[in-house]
Amino acid sequence: MFIRKVEKRRLRMIGTERIKKGYLNNYFAAVFYPIVIYVHLACPAAYTLFAKDGNPLSAVLALAVIVIESLKIVSYVHLKFPKSRRRRKSFLIKRFVEFVFLSFLIASLIQQWMVPTVHNTMKPLSEMEYSRCLERLLKLAIPNMIIWLIGFYTLFHSLLNFIAEVLMFADREFYRDFWNSETIQYFWRTWNIPVHRWAARHVYMPMMRSNYQSVLTTVAPSFF
């Protein structure tokens, strides 16, 4: 009961209860969000295709991006957080085993399924055979979706719950039922709750108070 009261008070404070339908219609979202997703997918693929030699710097940069995004999420400060009474050892072990196993599973799927397809794309790409390139791209669709789903479970369920249990953090709402989304607005509000709350409090609500245009206030948080 106490956790629910804290959660409701926090939702009122960051203003997410007011963001129910949003100002971005489905027609604009049908164009804008595929572009954003394409950029996220194309950048790693472009690096894989055009990088001649492996460079440890890429891993360092990727880690830096993860750290920066994590700092963004936790950059807002509350005086009190809901705390659990104790650490459950069985829960910790289960989440840790899940995280390790699924991480190796993702790495195996990438190495055995995606990397050969990407390497086979190099020759058609150099010869400008766009039909074969499209074929290779479609072959990547299924493993990409499987890895995305496994990665979501690994990060948002296994890892974040493990960290929350270690820190005795009682609020475990890292995601909601985004798989039942009927609109694009509901999907982006529920699949990543920590980032959504950060963007709502630090980007959306300040822009609304500054009387920015409704479309701009809706589009701006998408880049975070």
In this structure, the answer to whether residues 167 and 179 fall within a common structural domain is no
In this structure, the answer to whether residues 164 and 181 fall within a common structural domain is no
Burial of 29 (0-12, 13-18, 19+ CB in 10 A): buried
Check residue 96 and give its pLDDT.
92
In this structure, the answer to whether residues 96 and 160 fall within a common structural domain is yes
What's phi and psi for 78, nearest 5 deg?
-115, 150
Q: Which residues contact 193 (CB under 8 A, 6 or more apart)?
A: 173, 174, 175, 176
3-class secondary-structure state, position 51: coil
In this structure, the answer to whether residues 65 and 13 fall within a common structural domain is yes
Tens digit of each residue's pLDDT (9 = 90 or more) over 125-183: 777 777 777 777 788 888 888 998 998 899 888 888 888 888 888 878 888 888 888 88
Domain range for 200: 175-223
Tens digit of each residue's pLDDT (9 = 90 or more) over 22-65: 444 556 656 665 666 666 556 655 655 565 555 555 555 655 56
Whether the predicted pLDDT of 69 surpasses 50: yes
In this structure, the answer to whether residues 112 and 159 fall within a common structural domain is yes
Whether the predicted pLDDT of 76 surpasses 90: no
Q: Would you place residue 94 in the very low, low, confident or very high pLDDT band (cuts 50, 70, 90)?
A: very high
Q: Would you place residue 66 in the very low, low, confident or very high pLDDT band (cuts 50, 70, 90)?
A: low
Q: By the 8 A CB rule, do 168 and 83 touch?
A: yes
% of the chain exceeding 90 in pLDDT: 6
**Which of 48, 80, 112 lies at the terminal end of a domain, its last residue?**
80
In this structure, the answer to whether residues 70 and 132 fall within a common structural domain is no
Burial of 218 (0-12, 13-18, 19+ CB in 10 A): buried
The tally of domains found in the chain comes to: 3
In this structure, the answer to whether residues 68 and 3 fall within a common structural domain is yes
pTM of the model: 0.57
In this structure, the answer to whether residues 70 and 106 fall within a common structural domain is no
